[in-house]
Structure 1
Amino acid sequence: MLSLPAEFEQFHWMVDMVQHVDVGLVVIDRDYTVHVWNGFMTHHSGKQAHEAIGKNLFELFPEIPQDWFALKVKPVFDLGCRGFVTWRQRPYLFKCRNVRPITQQAPFMYQNVTLNPMTSPRGDIDYLFLAIEDASAEVLVMQ
């Protein structure tokens, strides 16, 4: 049996986790080009990774107000601090279908989104990743 270096095995695990975690993970650059699109996003948005990667976020999701979103990501890119969008501010960032139609009557997935800076080895922040959580169950409890 071929033994793989531990680093390679850990890298493989990380990629597998990113694809299968129950949170949407999207990496964008300062021009809003998508660089990572995980399995959660594929499943919930209906857009395959090959359809999203390399595309502009606003072309993929024209419902995202560009000026509003630019104000949200500016401190993340400029100051390196995290940003947040809760379902109470805006019900969703990405209009995704509700995948629990029997237990929840919402026509779309309510979302909480965390905007996280990605620091390069040089200390630059040229990318950020969005962590998208399904908050639909939380909304149902509040109603």
Structure 2
Amino acid sequence: MDAAFSTEVDVRYRDLDAAGHVNNAVYATYVEQARVAYFDRVVGTTLGTGDAALASLSLTFERPVCDPRGTVTVTARTTDVGETSVDQRHRLLCAGERVATAEATTVTLDAAGEPRPVPDGWRAAIREFETDPV
């Protein structure tokens, strides 16, 4: 999976467990940061305003983050835009080595919190940005 979008996430002291490893739950936070940045920069919308919500997240851990005082690169690639949802794949890299992968689905919501069609503007922005057809 090549991804045109990536962002750097600083590993914080609070991310570490007693053994000095990045806690497994924190990987989801790193994916969240990349997902929010993707929607901000690519789609032009700010998640967290009630117009979308995370519907599912799956993480596969491969190895510990190599430098708990450094940064993690998180990539994002939209793999599908459905009627009411956007699917993405993520890679988490440390010094160029993959440490985890993730798949996330974001659902668009109306004012009542019910699923609504993905806006045409979102679809167009994603299609224009992604190098592989979505």
What is the TM-score normalised by the length of structure 2? 0.30
Structure with the bigger RCO (C-alpha within 8 Å, sep 6+) is 2
Higher helix residue share: 1
Higher strand residue share: 2
What is the TM-score normalised by the length of structure 1? 0.29
